Structure 1
Amino acid sequence: MSTIGILYPGHSAEDDYPWVEGVLREAGYAVRLPVAHTSVGEDAHRVDALLDLGGAARLAEGADRLTRSTPCDALVWACTSGSFVFGWEGAHEQVGGLAARTGLPTTSTSLAFVRAAHRLGLTRVAVAASYPHDVASAFVTFLGRAGIEVTALGSHDILTAAEVGTLGREQVLALADGVDRTGAQAVLVPDTALHTLPWLADLEAHLGTVVLTANQVSLHDGLALLGEVPAVPGLGRLFAEPRRPAPTDGAAA
């Protein structure tokens, strides 16, 4: 059985991961997804707080604690804003530092969004973000560096991950539905603090388009680090068919 370690900041929607372990098991794909909670200074969707959240010392401590207790085959920094605020080069340096420290292939949620879009051939997307506008705009810039055009941006000024984690199904559907989808091939919903995995089929049916969410792409890219990603019913178009990553899909190792 493979093990993908999940580095997760604080406590919000981390229960998406044990839930999806069961879904994968039912689909005949056994994988463990142990979660290690990284430390949080200030829970705030502000650039300064997010740079601290994704700082090397916090990630190293979480990775050391996780790998000491659980042998892992790959590692995911399951945080969108705590990776893209470092910029394109900084996000790669972030996972490169973790990979060098642990010796494990490593990815982050921001890089996972890019790879998911590329795997589906998406070049134009709408972004429905829980963040304030300035933070959400940094994600737009990050996607642009990967050749992905953002046709519309919705931001919701939710300041803390703790509040995001309280949103239920109807609120998540409304958040995703609130962005203009004209000309977009998909809707991207960043923030791993947002529960989304149990509602992916509902999201795509409600919006009538491909939907990529933070915990979904984190899972997919973590699996891709280990080889072919299985087709799993109920986890959205991204998981609709098996996918073997191209060599350029690999994150730092």
Structure 2
Amino acid sequence: MSTENSVPRVLLVDDDPDVLAELSEGLDALGLPSLTAETAVEALDIVQRHDDLQVIVTDLQMPRIDGIELLQKLAVRRRTKPMAAIVITGHASLDRAVGALRLHAVDFLQKPLSAEEVAHAIHRAFSLVEDETAAANGNPTTLVQPTARPNYLKALVAARADRDAIFQAGLFSDPAWDMLLDLAVAEATNRPISVTSLCIASGVPTTTALRRIDDLKDAGLLDRIPDPGDRRRILVKLTAMGRERMEAFVQKQAGRLGLKLD
């Protein structure tokens, strides 16, 4: 079914036909009809023939022309009517994520992902496109802030997977830094995170994760608070000092890569 618009405004690009079909069907069920392409060449042809397309959701790892090169070509071909880009990948790496950010990708998602997660990113992209169009037509609105900051934080988290794949498993076993990154991403995307979720995401035994949470709390970097919507659940968030120090780190690293984070 389609509840938003019968004309597809979304293009999905992935060389895995199973992923493409599942994501397309899931988005259609959520009222977001889409066109699909299994190669960058096919995607460029579709974009040329469908002027109504506003958002492209593309995999990074593809043969011949990868996602980064595809976005570069689209940036040239759609100068007067640019498309918002969302990049997805199952093999994230920091340099490629930064490349996507330089091309103004509005979101960066890691596989496996759900149709709901992609739909949420698409709705944000639509809002950004509509606000920029209104501003260009002399009717400025309150612009949606770009997602460079959460995307960059997600890229740092993605680099963790690369590190674990390249180096000996368990070599970097202390989860404290990973916890701080996860909390920073959660805050940047307005997503509450519970003690249980943080422990699971750390990838270490729960007892070890809980000890590190205590250590970070004692250091004044995070705090635990009851969930106002469910008093049985405890949420974790950065303290003012934790937020300030993570901000200083992110700004310094982004500056070294030539990125400007608002």
Which TM-score band applies after superposition, normalised by the shorter structure?
0.3 to 0.5
The answer to which structure has the higher helix fraction is 2
Q: TM-score with structure 2 length normalisation?
A: 0.34
Larger radius of gyration: 2
Q: Which structure has the higher relative contact order (CA within 8 Å, separation 6+)?
A: 1
